[in-house]
Chains A and B, each alone.
Chain A
Amino acid sequence: MKVISAAFAIAFGLLVLAGYFIPALAPIQAVLIKWAGILLAVSALIGVFNLVIVHGEKIRSREKSNAYSTLLLISLLLTFVFGLALGPGHPIMQGVVNGVILPVEASLMAILSVTLLYAAIRLLRRRVDVMSVVFLLTVLLIVALSLPFAGIPLLGDVLRPWITQVWAMGGARGILIGVALGALTTGLRVLLAMDRPYGGK
């Protein structure tokens, strides 16, 4: 059975890949992609169900911070019910989003700024090497050049673009190329069933 499923996965993967290069296979690719989209949509519900099970188990076993798990489950249930009943464009739903979801995530983003600053300050405490110093100097430069008064013609128009568009971008492109090659080989490995971390032994 596992062999059959693996064979199907390999065949469909190769069809989707070939559909990018062979126009005749484009309709088949489109169909397969639509099916994948449906499966992903269903997986979203499965993920929510998994979330419910985990926090429910946490509440049942009275683990630490199970109160938050209770709040989460209540919120999830209410949102789900109101969303199905009223629709996502309903003002109530908009109020929930505007009053709960958005502020929470915005706060997390704000904490992120503190965390990043703290991490940057502690970098040299953790390790002192060339890359760490260069990293910090770069950060300082970019931050400085981003200041409003950095609109100084030399600093704002030449230096900052040269650092960000040339050096940073060059490094970023190199990293992205390497990541792309790694993703390519990893995808081919999984496509050819040479690596299946999931699916049993």
Chain B
Amino acid sequence: MADIQCSICGKKNPANTAVCQNCGASLSRGGESIQPGQEPTRKTTSELEQGLPTWLRDARDQRRQSSDDEVQLPSQPSSFPPSSLSGMDLLAGLQSQSDDDDEEIPDWLSNLTGDAGASKKSQPGAVENRRVELGGPSKPAREPEDELPSWLASLSASPAAADDRGKKEQSPADDASAVSPFGAFADIEPPTQAEEAGADWLTSLQSDASISEDAVGSEAGAFASVDLPDWMKADETPAPAPDTDVVTSDWLKSLDGQVAPETSSAPGLSEPVTDAADWLKTLDAAEGPSVPAPAAAETTDFDMPDWLKSMGDAPAAAPTPAAAPEVSADADFFMPDWLKGADEPSAAAPSAPSAPEPASAATDFETPDWLKGIEPTAVNATAAADFDMPDWLKGADEPAQPQTPSADFNVNLPGWLKSAKVETGEPAKAKPFAAAEPSAPPEPSGPVFVPAFTDFSMEEASVIDTPDWLANLGKTPEPSNLPTPETSMPSPIPEDMDSEFTSEPLAGDLDALFTDMPDWLNATSMTPSASGQQPSADETEAEKLSPASLPSWVQAMRPVDTASNPLDAAAGETMETRGPFAGLQGVLPSATYLGASSKPKSLAIKLQADDEQQNQALLLEQIMAAEAHPEPMITPAGVNSQRILRIAIFVLLLAVVTGAIFMGTQIFPLPLGRPAETMAAFNIVDTVIPPDAPVLVVFDYEPALAGEMEAVAAPLLDHLVVKNHPRMALLSTSPTGAVMAARMFSGPLGELPAIQYVNLGYLPGGLSSVRAFAQDPTHTLVLPPDVSVFNLAPASVWASPTLQGVQSFSNFAAIILITDSVDAGRTWIEQAGPLRGSAQFVVVSSAQAGPLLQPYYASGQINGLASGLYDAAVLEQNNAGRPGTARRYWDAYSLGLVLILFLLAGGALWSLAANLRERIASKEAG
């Protein structure tokens, strides 16, 4: 089986090892970058918690544990007066770290001190599903500000104590996950406790740097009041009691222990920190069991983040439990890029691998992946495959050597780091960025306070894989090493997307990942002058981070990069340089693609309309134009041709008719003809009707035709009365009939003596009433004409002597119907005719109704018919010329007919001519 080359230190390790034997970095390759177009790898989220950094997991554990145990951190004099560090909120959480003596020093810290990495002991039950909480009501309570973070407290603790502390820190924290920034890691199992290696880098730093415990402690106390971000906060599990009365962070303790035992007094950091920062622990756990516990692990109270732990891994560290490889693999997968460095071979700095070797050998510190690939090369933001490690992480690649904090280092370190202590005797925790160096465990000379970063010398820090910021504290920052605005804040996605996920170390300034990185993290390299080249080289190496192993959900969110080959850009797809797609290629359609479309078809502006549409449009236009022109109103002429014609006709007719009447001319002879129906009517009256017989006379004509009707009926009634002296009953079906009847007997028949008649009045109802009367005339309601308000109860007419013996309609000897309408005649004939019995039925009608009643005579339904002035003249000739009305009207009637004939003929011809003339004129006009 082929050996595995460590991406951090470059040392070849056996294939079956998961952690680099030199630097303690994880050798797992589970974090292969994702290529464009590649389907995301499905991951079980419950297993992903192991991928969390150790420090994160530890923080979560501590949260949980603190709420259950209600651990009261021992009151220890704070070496860090709050007032001195009031502005450093970033590190305030470090004070909340308990100083449990039993707590192990993180590996990274122990590595700094060069102590042998304590074996990473797995915590039973530590591997469990933990739900990462993003915050909210379950936010963990703030740790007491007076508590030092474990990673600071462990600086003054022994490596052994650091190991113990680290073990305890690996216990499940109650709600440390509340502060976890990795909210997506839900239900992930906490990694196995490998806190021994987590503090290696700090222990190595501690051993190299000369940090006065007092200074560190004072500043640590001040530091304790600073509010640290979550990733730097240790969990709430009470840190083991420090071996000494000096509270210090483990990593500082380890530093102190490696440098000088007398510098272990760091009251500020004497407070044991039960749990190092989880992120340090996580680094420790993620790097695998082979990461030796750094010397900083001796600071039992320090819980180093894994990324720090991994920096100072030492091959001598005891192998971590079996779950560690798995955890490390998962941790590598879910570890951000900046924590991974296992797969990043440092190509730029050949000297870099050698730098972290001692450090890795000294401790079992697991170098985070993002630190693995870091080489002390020059900062290069534009390099496609390089990853810039922050300076303060670059020291992990350097061998963990016992270093005494130097005054040089102490100059540029913040106060809280100056007061950091390192407990001696505790195994050094894993040193970040420090390769596993087979350094001897820190001297168990009691709690040694290692001031935080104050007693280190740059050179020593570089040797013991101290972070660059530690190494560079004593130096003026080189302009080239300082993060420039361009490099410190590059685009979120490098231009070359592939470089982000390749195995090559990423280029660019590591500082760019921390936009708000405090100054102490951005300090220049603290490597000593002897290894000054190495820090620069290590910087380049350290800056290179292996690509992260992205979780599946992140993989799925990545846009598909269709142009993974730079050659594709030449094919037309452009590389995005701005915005969220910066670095991606082929995401958006290129302009060339848009330009490749065909030219749009030019459309004619002119409207396409056929002839019909044009005609309609023209018509509409004409209509609209006509609306604008007012038309003169046609006022009717006062005297027009129609009125003249009417007047003329009236005048002519009036003159002729009235002249003839007033003149009494008798020019025209009476007709000589004897119509049969007329003579039959006369004969009925003359011979058929017996004398003194009841006769029903119906007056059913309108006043407008009274002249004609009286002219026709008068001779017949006159003959009847004179010949037979009948008893007449007068009836009418029109409202004016009774009046007409009275007019008849007072006018034309007025000269006749003693006419016996009774007026039955008005019979309403029309046709139905006629039938009803014909069926039962005595019971039909008929008001006598003499009824009035003065005579409301007149005698019944049927009891009168005139109608004596008349009980039914058939009792009448004759029925004479005088009507001007065909309807009335038809009604009486059709309704009453069948019920008349033997009574004679004679109809006297107007000239307009005569022809239509003629068929009734022809059918025998009536016995006689006399209609119009013509028959009136005939009747008068047979009645000895009495009353003479017809004779008087005959000349006027005849002259009127002649006039009408001529007017009608002439007018019709005139109208026809006018019409033809108009037609011709209209045709000529077109």
Which of A30, A41, A139 is within 8 Å of B776, CB to CB?
A30
Q: Which of A172-200 contact B (CB under 8 A)?
A: 172-173, 176
Residues of A contacting B916 in the complex (Cβ-Cβ under 8 angstroms): 128
Interface size in chain A (residues, C-beta < 8 A)? 58
Which residues of A108-131 have CB atoms within 8 Å of chain B's CB atoms?
A: 108-109, 113-114, 117-118, 120-125, 128
Cross-chain contact of B788 among A87, A114, A172 (Cβ < 8 A): A87
Docked CA distance A23–B645 (Å): 59
Q: Which of B742-783 contact A (CB under 8 A)?
A: 742-743, 746, 759, 761, 764-766, 768-769, 771-772, 775-776, 780-781
Q: Which residues of A contact B787 (CB under 8 A)?
A: 87
A121: chain B residues at CB < 8 Å are 645, 649, 903-904, 907-908, 910-911
Contact of A30 among B735, B764, B772, B900 (CB under 8 A): B772
Name A173's contact: one of B855, B898, B905 (CB within 8 Å).
B855
Find chain B residues with CB under 8 A from A173 CB.
855
User: What 0/1 pattern do residues 468 to 479 of B give for CB contact below 8 A with A?
Assistant: 000000000000
Give chain A interface residues in 146-182, CB to chain B under 8 Å: 146-149, 151, 156-157, 164-165, 168-169, 172-173, 176
Residue in A34, A86, A118, A172 whose CB lies within 8 Å of B645: A118
Q: Which single residue of chain B is at the shortest CB-CB distance from A121? A: B907
Is B186 engaged at the interface, CB distance under 8 Å to the other chain?
no
Interface string of B731-744 (1 = CB under 8 A from A): 00001101100110
A32 to B669, CA, bound (A): 53
Q: Is the CB of A93 closer than 8 A to any CB of chain B?
A: yes
A149:B668 contact, CB within 8 angstroms:
yes
In the assembled complex, A85 has its CB within 8 A of some CB on chain B: yes
Q: Tell which of A4-12, A58-66, A68-76, A94-102 binds the partner.
A: A94-102
Chain B residues with CB under 8 A of A176: 852
A118-B645, A121-B907 given as contacts; is B761 within 8 A of A88 (CB)?
yes
Q: Does B671 contact A (CB under 8 A)?
A: yes
Q: A120 vs B904: C-alpha distance in the bound complex, in angstroms?
A: 7
Are B736 and A165 in contact, CB atoms less than 8 angstroms apart? Answer: no
Q: Are B743 and A94 interface neighbours, CB within 8 A? A: yes
Q: Report the Cα distance A97→B677, complex, angstroms.
A: 33
Chain B: minimal CB distance from A144 (Å): 6
How distant is the Cα of A104 from the Cα of B704 in the complex, in angstroms? 8
Instruction: Please report which residues of chain A, range 34-57, place their CB below 8 angstroms from some CB of chain B when the two chains form the complex.
Output: 34, 36-38, 40-41, 44
B786 interface residue (CB < 8 Å to A): yes
**Closest CB in chain A relative to B862 CB, distance in Å:** 16
Chain B residue nearest to A20 (CB atoms) is B771
Pair A40/B766 contact, Cβ less than 8 Å? yes
Within 8 A of A (CB), among B3-52: none
A146 contact from B785, B870, B903, Cβ within 8 A: B870
Cβ contact within 8 Å between A33 and B769: yes
Q: Please give the distance in Å from B922's CB to the nearest CB on chain A.
A: 13
Q: A88-B761, A97-B703, A108-B704 are in contact. Are A33 and B772 (CB under 8 A)?
A: yes
Q: How far is the CA of A50 from the CA of B108 in the complex (A)?
A: 117
Known: A88-B739, A156-B673, A157-B673. A118 touches B649 (CB 8 A): yes
The CA of A44 and the CA of B736, in the complex, are separated in Å by 13
Q: How far does the Cβ of B195 sit from chain A's closest Cβ, in whole Å?
A: 94
Q: How far is the CB of A168 from chain B (nearest CB, A)?
A: 7
Q: How far is the CA of A86 from the CA of B153 in the complex (A)?
A: 139
Interface contact B739-A97, CB-CB below 8 Å: yes
A-B contact count (CB 8 A): 168
A24 at the interface (CB under 8 A from B): no
A169 and B854 contact, Cβ closer than 8 Å, known pairs A87-B786, A114-B646, A146-B870: yes
User: Contacts of A147 on B, CB cut-off 8 Å?
Assistant: 894, 897-898, 901
B706 — which chain A residues lie within 8 A by C-beta? 102, 105-106
Max chain B Cβ within 10 angstroms of own Cβ: one of A140, A148, A164, A168: A148
A30 and B288 CA atoms in complex are apart in Å by 124
The answer to whether A164 and B851 touch across the interface, beta carbons within 8 angstroms, is: yes
A40 adjacent to B649 (CB under 8 Å): no
Interface on chain B toward A: helix, strand, loop, or mixed SS?
helix
Q: Note all chain A residues with C-beta closer than 8 A to B791.
A: 87
B571 on the A face (CB < 8 A): no
Of residues 878 through 926 on chain B, the ones whose CB sits less than 8 Å from some CB of chain A are: 890, 894, 897-898, 900-901, 903-905, 907-908, 910-912, 914-916
| Known contacts A33-B772, A147-B897, A148-B669; is-contact A128 B915 (Cβ 8 Å) | yes
Shortest Cβ distance from A151 into chain B, in angstroms? 6
Within the complex, what minimum Cβ distance (angstroms) separates A69 from chain B? 21
CB closest residue in chain B, given A136: B908
A84 at the interface (CB under 8 A from B): yes
Does B625 have its Cβ within 8 Å of any Cβ on chain A?
no
Provide the residues of chain A in CB contact with B911, threshold 8 Å.
121-125
| List of A residues within 8 angstroms of B907 by Cβ | 117, 120-122
Contact of B908 among A34, A97, A105, A124 (CB under 8 A): A124
Nearest CB of chain A from residue B532's CB, rounded to whole Å: 108
CB distance from A93 to the nearest CB of B (A): 7
Is B637 close to A, CB under 8 A?
Answer: no
CA–CA, A48 and B653, complex, Å = 36
Q: Would B771 and A33 count as touching, CB distance under 8 A?
A: yes
Q: Does A143 contact B (CB under 8 A)?
A: yes
Q: Are A93 and B908 in contact (CB-based, < 8 A)?
A: no
Chain A residues within an 8 Å CB radius of B628: none
Contacts of A168 in B (CB 8 A): 851
Q: Please indicate which of the listed interface residues A93, A104, A125, A156 has the most CB atoms of chain B within 10 Å of its own CB.
A: A125
Give the nearest-CB partner of A36 in chain B: B768
In the complex, whether B702 has a CB less than 8 A from a CB of chain A is yes
B736, A97: Cβ atoms closer than 8 Å: yes
* B906 (CB) vs chain A CBs: closest residue: A121
Contact A169 B904 (CB under 8 A): no
Given the complex, which residues of B lie within 8 Å of A84, measured CB to CB?
Answer: 788-789
Contacts of B649 in A (CB 8 A): 114, 117-118, 121
- Min Cβ gap A120→B in Å is 5
Q: How far is the CA of A149 from the CA of B904 in the complex (A)?
A: 18
Q: How does the 8 Å CB contact mask read for B790-802 relative to A, with 1 for contact and 0 for none?
A: 1100000000000
Q: How far is the CA of A109 from the CA of B702 in the complex (A)?
A: 10
> Which residue from A102, A117, A149, A156 sits with its C-beta under 8 Å from B743?
A102
Q: How far is the CB of A147 from chain B (nearest CB, A)?
A: 5
Instruction: State A149–B915 Cα separation when bound (angstroms).
Output: 34
A60 vs B771: C-alpha distance when bound (angstroms): 44
Does any Cβ of A come within 8 Å of B553's Cβ? no
Known contacts A36-B765, A37-B764, A118-B649: A30-B894 contact under CB 8 Å: no
Distance to closest chain B CB from A170 (angstroms): 11
| Nearest B-chain residue to A137, judged by Cβ | B908
Inside 8 A of B912's CB, which chain A residues have their CB? 124-125, 128
Q: Shortest Cβ distance from A137 into chain B, in angstroms?
A: 9
Residues A44 and B772 in contact, CB atoms below 8 Å apart: no
Instruction: Contacts A117-B653, A117-B904, A151-B671 known; list 18 others, CB within 8 Å.
Output: A30-B776, A84-B789, A85-B789, A87-B786, A89-B738, A90-B788, A93-B739, A94-B746, A105-B702, A118-B645, A118-B649, A122-B642, A140-B901, A140-B904, A143-B901, A146-B870, A148-B668, A149-B894
Closest 5 CB pairs of A and B: A121-B907, A37-B765, A105-B704, A125-B911, A109-B704
- What are some 22 contacts across the A-B interface (CB < 8 A)? A26-B775, A33-B765, A33-B768, A36-B768, A87-B791, A88-B742, A90-B788, A97-B739, A101-B736, A102-B703, A105-B706, A117-B903, A118-B642, A122-B642, A122-B911, A140-B908, A148-B668, A148-B671, A148-B894, A149-B668, A151-B671, A165-B854
Query: Which A residues are within 8 Å of any B CB, using their own CB?
Result: 26, 30, 33-34, 36-38, 40-41, 44, 84-90, 93-94, 97-98, 101-102, 104-106, 108-109, 113-114, 117-118, 120-125, 128, 136, 139-140, 143-144, 146-149, 151, 156-157, 164-165, 168-169, 172-173, 176
Chain B residues packing against A (C-beta within 8 Å)? 642, 645-646, 649-650, 653, 668-673, 702-707, 735-736, 738-739, 742-743, 746, 759, 761, 764-766, 768-769, 771-772, 775-776, 780-781, 785-791, 851-852, 854-855, 870, 890, 894, 897-898, 900-901, 903-905, 907-908, 910-912, 914-916
